[in-house]
Amino acid sequence: MAGPSWARVLVGALVVGLLVGVARAPGADEADAAASSASRPPPLTVELPPGLPEVATTGALPATPPGVRGVTAAGGTTVALTFDDGPHPVVTPALLDLLRDLQAPSVFCVVGSQVERHPEIVARIHAEGHALCDHSATHDLRLPQRDADTIHREVVGTLRLIQEAAPGAEVPYWRAPGGNWSAAVDDVARAEGMTPLGWTVDPRDWQGPGAEALVDRILTEVRPGAVVLLHDGGNDGADVLAALPVVVSALREAGYDVVLP
């Protein structure tokens, strides 16, 4: 397969970057104020290096635990984008603006405590055609070791918050905090109609590697059917927002469709 035209991809990415961009996220109180005073953060531009890798189309995807979906149901040259730990009052709206421009349906794995703070963003996620995923109430990495009542509260309590924020929305997926899957937790999610959703590409955007490294990591690791793990909560979102136009353009030029899992 011929490699993508990186010059064309880069130009497109920079144009979108100028239109979208992101501000470095302030603290919680400042973030709320910023979200109410501006619909989009100031623009951020990023100069990407030449010689980015071709999108990989061969090789096996990493295995996921039994009963956990780690690939798209459509298979073939499809890829799914997922975003964890939001909604964030500044990053998530900017991300939604960008995904609308890119026409890229995605999955938002939301945390209950954030859903309580920003239900209107959850409603917007649903209204704009994205999928919602239950990511627990408090992102407890030791959730499998908790008692049954705590597990129920973390999983089902968050599901109810999502349903209150976005009436009529389906919540088809459950994602374990930190990928700490267990039958005790996953069975509670399945009983509520949610499929445990893993991932097969983790570019570790939470480490703040920079947009260039993030693009390189995703395009190097992606394979047909991949589910990509990214974040709209827990960091300022700058790397993700700057990298996504390049990633999506490169994937589409290589023949991939961006789909829901």
Question: Which of 84, 186, 232, 236 is an active site residue?
Answer: 84
User: Is 32 in contact with 92 (CB distance < 8 Å)?
Assistant: no
Active site residue 84: yes
Closest C-alpha among 172, 234, 257, 243 to residue 212: 243
Instruction: Point out the catalytic residue in the list 140, 231, 232, 239.
Output: 231
- Residue 149 appears among annotated catalytic residues: no
Which residues are catalytically annotated? Answer: 84, 231
